[in-house]
Amino acid sequence: MLKVLLVDDEPFILQGLQVLIDWEAEGYEIAALMPNGKDAYDYLKENEVDLIISDIQMPVMTGLELLERIRAEKISNAKFAVLTGYDDITYAQKAIRSNSMDYILKPVQKENILSLLRKVSKLKIEKDVHDDRQRKMEDAYLARNVIALLKGKYDADNLEYVKKHLLLSGDIRYVNIEVISGGGYNEDDEDDSDLRELQHQLYQTCCESQKDNINHFVFDVSYDDSSYDVGFIYCDNMATRRDLSEKEYFNAMIQKVENIMRRQIKMTCGKKVPDIQAIAKSYSSCCILNSVGGFHNKKKLYIYEEDAQIDGEQNAVFLCKSSIDNLVLAINGGDKAAMDTAIDDLFEELRGISEKENAKNLNINYLLFQLIHIASEQDDNVNQEEVLHYIAENSFDESITRGGSRHMKRFAYEYSEYLLSLRRNVSRGLIFSIEKDIQEHFDENITLKSLGDKYYINSSYLGQIFKKTHNNMSFKDYLTQIRINHAATQLLNTDKKVLKIAEDVGYKDCDYFIRKFIELKGCTPSKYRRNNSIQ
């Protein structure tokens, strides 16, 4: 409801205005009635309204003086209209010059008030639409700068913009937030639009739960084309100013988001860094920890310093290095018998150190990093985060603590096969076929997984090869570029509405389409059409 302030020194005028209009039906509520400009001025210093309807000639302070003061002192952005008699017409004209949007002659006619109210409502709607588009553009631009820092590919302008728009104080972490349901997302059960909607809901809920840190949330950061998470730039002062420990702050945030969404949340916190310039290190550690978390006992909060430590003399005592090195060698060579022997030896050692808390996690982490290393040796362009994600998603589906040696052996066989696939040469002909497929079906729910299934290639490896052959552009970004370019063509060559074009190119979520369009084209679809259409 829009709020209106009525100001007149004649009580019967105020009473008449109250009953003359069905204010609620017009989308308004009367915020207050004031007998003179001074009382109205005092009220506006403490309260916000959308419209002021004021008589001109009043004791103490006239309507014109009220208008001039609130404009000069900028205490209200409300639209202003004056009530005037025929003898006051020159004052009314002066009020218009002082930025009054209208004047209404006495005796007041209902249709004149209705015309004013509907004009103000229309302007308010137009302003809200403009402000919303402006906010989305600013959000998209800030996100692009933050992501540049997270990926470690930024310049001085990126850094300056982020420092200007984020409240950075104390040490910093990158935090990954996602909705979990059982073991996580299942693409076979939910399509991309369902998961994208859930991601939007998560983003909005996170912003609602931390209203003073809204700019610190980033939508759609993940390197993983199948991930639907939200990023968060955490600073130490967020917890200290609430007199909370870091862990208490994160747990409180999880609980608040869960209470609103009624879904379980997982939060993964990358290692702490001293400055936003080093946030890429925190982001990278968060990605690794997020995958490693799949090998630990399931919980809602993972913190790098607690859950991914493999260094230090005190840990070396509990590290089964020889057994793990033998296992890695067997996996790399594809020798199943040697894998079985190495795994049996490893679990025998683990039973001997079971009293040490997190001993198994320590050894699993060491094994993971060794496996990442040998995968990277197959190809310098292999993305280590992608490899680790493959391990988490395709091999371990439960905690190694509960899985036992049989579970580990299954994982070892599968990862050995994965390494073999990395060694195979993916021909340019296959990539060409996949590009052609994308061009023909870009408007459908096309994913790396569906393409991998169609062309009989591991989807994680396909994602790496795709980046390698497209100047480090991910499959997701490539698909987005194709869709947005087709949308741009339709904007210039058809009169379709933006919503229809979004649907035509594969987006069920129009807001997400507009955000991506702004990121690639630098303006909204409507502005792009206006600026580029032939006059």
**Tens digits of per-residue pLDDT, 257-267?**
999 988 888 99
Q: What is the pLDDT of residues 112-145, one digit of tens each?
A: 999 999 999 999 999 888 888 888 788 888 888 9
Q: What is the pLDDT of residues 361-370, one digit of tens each?
A: 667 777 876 7
CA angle 280, 175, 163 (to 5 degrees): 55
Distance (Å, whole) CA 22 – CA 258: 42
Backbone angles phi, psi at 105, to 5 degrees: -80, 145
Same domain, 356 and 436: no
Which pLDDT score is estimated for 282? 87
Task: Give the CATH number of the domain where residue 33 resides.
Answer: 3.40.50.2300
Residue 103: in which H helix or E strand, if any? strand 102-105
Same domain, 215 and 261: yes
Same domain, 191 and 262: yes
Task: Give the CATH number of the domain where residue 292 resides.
Answer: 3.30.70.270
Distance (Å, whole) CA 8 – CA 43: 14
Question: Which range is most confident: 77-86, 167-176, 368-377, 452-461?
Answer: 167-176
Which residues, other chains included, contact 410 with Cβ-Cβ below 8 Å and sequence gap of 6+? Answer: 395
Tell me whether residue 440 is in a domain. yes
Distance (Å, whole) CA 479 – CA 435: 10
What pTM was computed for the model? Answer: 0.53
- pLDDT exceeds 80 at position 191: no
Same domain, 212 and 333: no
The 3-state DSSP class for residue 118 equals: helix
- Residue pair 361/296 in contact by the 8 Å Cβ criterion: yes
Domain boundary among 416, 442, 457: 416
Distance (Å, whole) CA 506 – CA 520: 16
Domain that holds residue 112: 2-127
CA dihedral of 365, 366, 372, 374, whole degrees rounded to 10: -160
Domain boundary among 127, 152, 177: 127
Tell me whether residue 134 is in a domain. no
Tokens standing for 87? Answer: 């003898």
Q: How far is CA 15 from CA 2, 55, 86, in A?
A: 19, 14, 21
Provide the pLDDT confidence category of residue 195 given band limits of 50, 70 and 90: confident
Tell me whether residue 477 is in a domain. yes
Q: What is the pLDDT of residues 330-377, one digit of tens each?
A: 988 889 999 999 999 888 888 777 555 566 766 777 787 677 667 655
Provide the pLDDT confidence category of residue 187 given band limits of 50, 70 and 90: very low
Same domain, 266 and 185: yes
Cite the DSSP H helix spans in 358-509: 359-378, 384-394, 400-423, 428-441, 448-455, 459-469, 475-493, 498-504
Q: What is the pLDDT of residues 19-52, one digit of tens each?
A: 999 999 999 999 999 999 999 999 999 999 999 9
Tell me whether residue 157 is in a domain. no
Which residues, other chains included, contact 351 with Cβ-Cβ below 8 Å and sequence gap of 6+? Answer: none
> Can you say whether the dihedral through the CA atoms of 167, 168, 169, 173 is positive or negative?
positive
Tell me whether residue 138 is in a domain. no
Distance (Å, whole) CA 78 – CA 52: 7
- Residue pair 302/328 in contact by the 8 Å Cβ criterion: no
- How much is the average pLDDT of 183-201? 64
Same domain, 466 and 449: yes
Tell me whether residue 476 is in a domain. yes
Name which of 256, 262, 210 is nearest 232 in CA terms.
210
Same domain, 371 and 435: no
Q: How many other CB atoms sit within 10 Å of the CB of residue 530?
A: 12
Same domain, 286 and 330: no
Tell me whether residue 322 is in a domain. yes
Backbone angles phi, psi at 34, to 5 degrees: -125, 140
Distance (Å, whole) CA 308 – CA 147: 24
Same domain, 319 and 303: no
The 3-state DSSP class for residue 152 equals: coil
**Number of domains the chain contains:** 4
Task: Give the CATH number of the domain where residue 521 resides.
Answer: 1.10.10.60
Q: Please state, for a pLDDT cut of 70, what percent of the chain lies above it.
A: 79
Buried b (16+ CB within 10 A) or exposed e, 42-65: ebbeeeebbbbbbbbbbeebbbbb
Same domain, 171 and 276: yes
The 3-state DSSP class for residue 377 equals: helix
Same domain, 282 and 393: no
Same domain, 303 and 321: no
Tell me whether residue 158 is in a domain. no
- Residue pair 59/83 in contact by the 8 Å Cβ criterion: no
Domain boundary among 239, 274, 307: 307
- pLDDT exceeds 90 at position 101: no
